[in-house]
Amino acid sequence: MASDPTNVYDSLGPVYGDAAETARKRYETIKSAFEERFGAAPDVYARSPGAVERLDGVDTVVAVRKSGDQLVVCNVEAGKYPEKTFSIDPAQEVDVGKHNWGNYFLAAYKGVFEYLGGKGVATPPPVGLQVMVHGTVPTGEDGARGGGLSSSAAIVCAAALAVLHSHGIRLTKGEVSEFTAKAERYVGVTSGGMDQAISIMGMPGIAKMVEFNPVRASDVVLPEGAVFVVANSLAISNKAESAVKHYNLRVVECRLAAGALAVMLGECKVRPTLPRAAGQRGGAGRGCLARQRTAASLSAERDECEAVLQEAARKIITLKEIEPLIEAKYSGPKASTSGAQIAAVKELLHDDPYETAEVEELLGVKLADLYQGNDSALRVLAANGSFVLKNRALHVYAEKQRVPEFSDVCNSGAGVEKKMEKLGRLMDDSHASCRDLYECSSVELDALVQVNKAAGAIGSRLTGAGWGGCTVSLVREGEVDTFIQKVKEGYFKGLVEAGRVTEAELGQHIFASKPASGGAVLTLKL
């Protein structure tokens, strides 16, 4: 539950289950690296998983010790992720112009103090921290986004838990989910909140349906024998670096689509009385003058109405905010709103990209003024002169329908095979929508999905931010080994031959996954 306090354990069992002994060896490696660098053992460990996790520990671990007057952030893989040093000032800026893996820790650190300050409570004084990080979530070259399993969420959430504990603070899972989603934006990515929510609120053996405003998660019981297999396409798209053409651009397009729809769905409440016809009481002359005055008045009223609608539309941030407007005009028989959003988008938005000037005319404002103070969005505007609105909105609303439908299928009384078939179709439809409407897939992801389906996946789709990273496939438990072997032959064999990956590393890039424990603080005595 979102209102529950974040987890604190003194052993590995509650987190890693049967894989606790394997995990212990990893934590001992982290401890040794910490001692080698800092000359002492860490005070505490914090861990958080990516959006898709398996039981043997696809997560990020942050070991931390209070010491000194700086933030010294190191990584077990020092050759790949070099040491970074920051001041302990929570107000310091994150240098988004220089993308590096340490920015994710700094973003979490800033997020902690920003959240506590916003609550109006006494904020503890910052302290120096020695930090050692180790992650098993597939990552991009910056040590975070790019692997497709939300490695950025994993490091930000684990770092936030470590910083909170080091300052003697324990918050609820909902609170940490909320502020870590905002904190990740410090690195220049306009992230949502799903990855952070599931990273913090995950539970062993139970899938979660995450909802927002406020953040909450409900249990979804998967059909018996259902297993998800994760496969890494090995195509990397570093989210922060490519944001102006990919992730952040989609955020801007969705907001502009919402604003455009709001204007078109708006309705002027001013209903001016039409003038009397010539020859009616008042005489023809007066009738003509009345028509002239009313025409001028009507034009002014229309201008005023349009200005009011535009002002209201400019305040719209998400497509969800305009759903009441859509439902009021597109509800079906017996006030059914099923499909109303998609019907409205298809009718009101055109297929071609919207040029900047067209959007500005619709909203009655220069886009640079609309996004004043939002550096991430301004960078998007500087890099793009047109925006795809219709397809982005269609994807969002279609995905919105698929999520509860997936949950409903799982919790229905249908037979296992029927459930599997419906879930697979939903996953396939989701990938097609990501590929064709949201355009967040890649050549490699599409190829991997095809291989997955040919290997026996009931359904398969990209996962994570897209443009690279991983796929997730629904597979019957008894067919997992055969499925993995077929995917290795159909997709990874060529990569092995090309030297992109070794045979020994394949276990890190394709594996069966089950829902596992969420973020936690571990007070271990190793």
Percentage of the chain with pLDDT > 70?
Answer: 86
Tokens 């597109």 locate to 330
pLDDT, one tens digit per residue, over 145-199 is: 443 345 788 899 999 999 999 999 999 999 999 899 888 888 876 666 677 887 8
pLDDT, one tens digit per residue, over 322-370 is: 999 999 888 765 545 668 999 999 999 999 999 999 999 999 999 999 9
Tokens found for residue 357:
């000037």
Task: Say what the pLDDT of residue 513 is.
Answer: 79
- In sequence order, the 6+-apart residues with CB closer than 8 A to the CB of 336 are none
- Give the N- to C-terminal CA distance of the chain in Å, as an integer: 30
Q: Give the pLDDT band (50/70/90) at residue 116.
A: very high
Nearest to 459 by CA among 498, 431, 497: 431
- Letter for the amino acid at 172? T
Respond yes or no: is residue 408 known to be catalytic: no
* 63 strand-pairing partners: 45, 132
Cα(211)–Cα(1) distance, rounded to whole angstroms?
A: 12
Tokens 């050759």 locate to 79
Say whether pLDDT at 320 is over 80: yes
334-338, Cβ contacts within 8 angstroms, sequence gap of 24 or more: none
By the 8 A CB rule, do 149 and 472 touch?
A: no
pLDDT, one tens digit per residue, over 56-73 is: 457 899 999 999 999 999
Whole-model pTM: value is 0.77
Of 56, 59, 195, 428, the catalytic one is 195
Nearest to 375 by CA among 93, 39, 3: 93
Cα(94)–Cα(110) distance, rounded to whole angstroms?
A: 9
* Strands of the 226-232 sheet, one edge to the other: 459-463, 470-476, 226-232, 510-513
* 45 strand-pairing partners: 63, 522
* Mean pLDDT computed over every residue of the chain: 86
Q: Is 247 exposed, middle or buried (0-12, 13-18, 19+ CB in 10 A)?
A: buried
Min mean pLDDT across 387-401, 462-476, 479-493 is at 462-476
- Provide the Cα torsion 246, 252, 257, 259; round to 10°: 180
Min mean pLDDT across 33-47, 105-119, 214-228 is at 214-228
User: Rounded to whole angstroms, what are the CA distances from 113 to 66, 125, 152, 332, 461?
Assistant: 16, 10, 19, 48, 37
Q: Which CATH code is given to the segment(s) 247-268+303-387? A: 1.20.1440.340
Q: Is 443 exposed, middle or buried (0-12, 13-18, 19+ CB in 10 A)?
A: exposed
Domain 7-219+515-522 has CATH 3.30.230.10: yes
pLDDT, one tens digit per residue, over 301-311 is: 677 888 888 89
Say whether pLDDT at 237 is over 80: no
Domains in the chain: boundaries: 7-219+515-522, 247-268+303-387
